[in-house]
Amino acid sequence: MPNPNPIGIFDSGVGGISVLKEIRLLMPGEDILYYADSAHCPYGTQPPENIRQRTIKISQFLINIGAKIIVAACNTASIAGLDYLRQEFQSPIVGMEPAIKPAAKITRNGKVGVLATGVTINGDRFNSLLTRFACDIEVINVPCPGLVEQVEMGLLDTLETTALLRKFLSPLIKNGVDTVVLGCTHYPFLRLLVESIMGPEVNVIDTGCAVAKRLQQVLQEEDLLSDKAPVYATESFYTSGNASQVSQVIKNLWDHPNITVKYIEL
Ligand code: DGL
């Protein structure tokens, strides 16, 4: 039986919109709820316990308003809290992790750079990824404090954002990596800038599309897919931050003029 209930997606802020875009492309008939935890952003410099508490509150909210499945569209929240979320809720939960496995497959020179938050890079789940898939390649991890804030403000190509990125990418250039993993959902919005700094020979990859595919697979397996006509599919946005600012930034990032965001503190 088709299930018309919405998919619940959350992130520390607007980064998860990079995942929402892929989900919408793959599943145009699904209703979507999106929670941007902008008042508590960035997650990547906070103690993992704080992040876990936020993700549990947000997931509970999304489930209360009808979400049939939760997508943690945030590497940091997934690394810090996915196991806890799965223990806490019966609903299926889809998380994400930096694209280490695909990077290890496509690198030609065995040198990969990862841009992510400090919490992601120091997380056990991330280290287990390295052990499982990257033991015979060189991986250079670069935490990027300050970058998420630039995307939250919609400053995608300013001098300051460019200078920050140049600083974070310089150890990767020095080491001659041929593959860069965007290990935070905010960073795909900076892809063009990363590509222009790294040059055309370097692969720049993220996991938004893979997460959308995994979500579709889980919905199929659990018999939760909607059969709505795309024209009736809706998106509802919520934030703990400044609703008008968040809505302005989402409009630009997603290139959709008619978005309203509701303020809801949890
Ligand atoms: N978008 C996030 C991620 O994928 C969170 C970044 C942050 O809030 O520090 O990791």
- Cα separation values, 212 from 23, 45, 150, 216, 219, Å: 5, 27, 25, 6, 11
| C-alpha 19 chain-centroid distance | 6
Helices then strands, counting H and E runs in the chain, come out as 11, 10
Where in the chain does DSSP place strands (E)?
7-11, 32-36, 69-72, 93-94, 111-116, 138-143, 179-182, 203-205, 235-239, 261-263
The number of distinct structural domains making up the chain is 2
Q: Is 2 domain-assigned?
A: no
Q: Is 138 domain-assigned?
A: yes
Q: Is 71 domain-assigned?
A: yes
How close is the Cα of 74 to the center of ligand 1, in Å? 5
**pLDDT for the residue 225:** 97
Range of the domain at 180: 100-206
Q: Is 149 domain-assigned?
A: yes
Q: Minimal CA–CA distance to 157: which of 115, 198, 193, 116?
A: 193
Specify the pTM.
0.97
d(CA 184, CA 236): 23
User: Is 177 found in the same domain as 105?
Assistant: yes
User: Is 117 found in the same domain as 197?
Assistant: yes
User: Is 83 found in the same domain as 59?
Assistant: yes
Give per-residue pLDDT as tens, 137-174: 999 999 999 999 999 999 999 999 999 999 999 999 99
Ligand 1, closest atom to CA 74?
Answer: 4
How close is the Cα of 149 to the center of ligand 1, in Å? 10
- CB of 43 within 6 A of ligand 1: the answer is yes
d(CA 210, CA 253): 20
How close is the Cα of 117 to the center of ligand 1, in Å? 7
**What confidence category does residue 248 fall into, taking pLDDT thresholds of 50, 70 and 90?**
very high
Q: List the structure tokens of 33.
A: 């709820």
Instruction: Please provide the size of the chain in residues.
Output: 266
User: Is 200 found in the same domain as 105?
Assistant: yes
Q: Is 1 domain-assigned?
A: no
Q: In what order do the strands lie in the sheet with 179-182?
A: 138-143, 111-116, 179-182, 203-205
Ligand 1, closest atom to CA 96?
Answer: 4
- CB of 74 within 6 A of ligand 1: the answer is yes
3-state secondary structure of 266: coil
User: Is 116 found in the same domain as 173?
Assistant: yes
**What confidence category does residue 19 fall into, taking pLDDT thresholds of 50, 70 and 90?**
very high
- CB of 15 within 6 A of ligand 1: the answer is yes
Active-site residue list = 74, 184
- CB of 44 within 6 A of ligand 1: the answer is yes
Q: What's 259's domain CATH number?
A: 3.40.50.1860
- CB of 115 within 6 A of ligand 1: the answer is no
Beta bridge partners of 104: none
pLDDT above 90 (res 1): no
Print the SS3 string covering 178-204: CEEEECCCCHHHHHHHHHHHHCCCCEE
Q: Which of 158, 185, 206 is the last residue of a domain?
A: 206
User: Is 157 found in the same domain as 133?
Assistant: yes
User: Is 226 found in the same domain as 256?
Assistant: yes
User: Is 242 found in the same domain as 111?
Assistant: no
How close is the Cα of 254 to the center of ligand 1, in Å? 18
Q: Which of 206, 233, 251 is the last residue of a domain?
A: 206
User: Is 117 found in the same domain as 71?
Assistant: no
d(CA 115, CA 194): 10
Give per-residue pLDDT as tens, 34-76: 999 999 999 999 999 999 999 999 999 999 999 999 999 999 9
